[in-house]
């Protein structure tokens, strides 16, 4: 998919490919990536059962991956009540995801630097 921004053509496929490579390097699993891309593409919140049906993977697997993604800040979760209580999940934008990744990496680097200084390791 190509988007023209002020006469500057951007190939979103290339950007998504690079983002996927980064996420794989950070340890994201194949089905976690599939769930993220599905929710991003749908651009609407989905229940666990809807994700399961769409991707053809077990409900248990979807629950596990969705929880991992939610804990990592990749997915947002909203409580809904439609005759039953449950959650729906949606993807954060790629820009928001990159910001979260950057913040997390900087935090971890700062923690390591403090430990190195504390232990006087050069």
Q: How many structural domains comprise the chain?
A: 1
Q: Which residues contact 68 (CB under 8 A, 6 or more apart)?
A: 29, 32
Scored b (16 or more CB within 10 A) or e, 19-47 reads beeebeeeebeebbbbbbeebbeeeebbb
> pLDDT at position 8, please?
41
Q: Which domain holds residue 48?
A: 2-118
Gap between the Cα atoms of 53 and 32, Å rounded: 15
Is 36:75 a contact under the CB 8 Å cutoff?
yes
pLDDT tens, N- to C-terminus, the chain (122 residues): 443 333 444 456 788 888 889 899 889 999 999 999 999 999 999 999 999 999 999 999 999 999 999 999 999 999 988 777 889 999 999 999 999 999 989 999 999 999 888 888 76
* Residue of 49, 89, 45 lying closest to 67 (CA atoms): 89
CATH of the domain at 105: 1.10.10.10
> pLDDT at position 13, please?
74
* pTM score of the predicted model: 0.78
């Amino acid at each position: 998919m190509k988007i023209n921004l002020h006469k500057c053509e951007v190939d979103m496929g290339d950007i998504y490919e690079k983002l996927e490579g980064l996420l794989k390097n950070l340890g994201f699993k194949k089905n976690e990536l599939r769930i993220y891309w599905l929710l991003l593409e749908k651009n609407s919140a989905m229940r666990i059962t809807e994700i399961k049906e769409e991707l053809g993977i077990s409900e248990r697997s979807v629950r596990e991956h969705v929880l991992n993604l939610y804990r990592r800040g990749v997915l947002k979760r909203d409580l809904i009540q439609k005759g039953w209580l449950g959650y729906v999940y949606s993807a954060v934008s790629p820009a928001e995801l990159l910001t979260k990744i950057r913040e997390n990496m900087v935090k971890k680097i700062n923690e390591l630097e403090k430990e190195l200084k504390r232990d006087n390791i050069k």
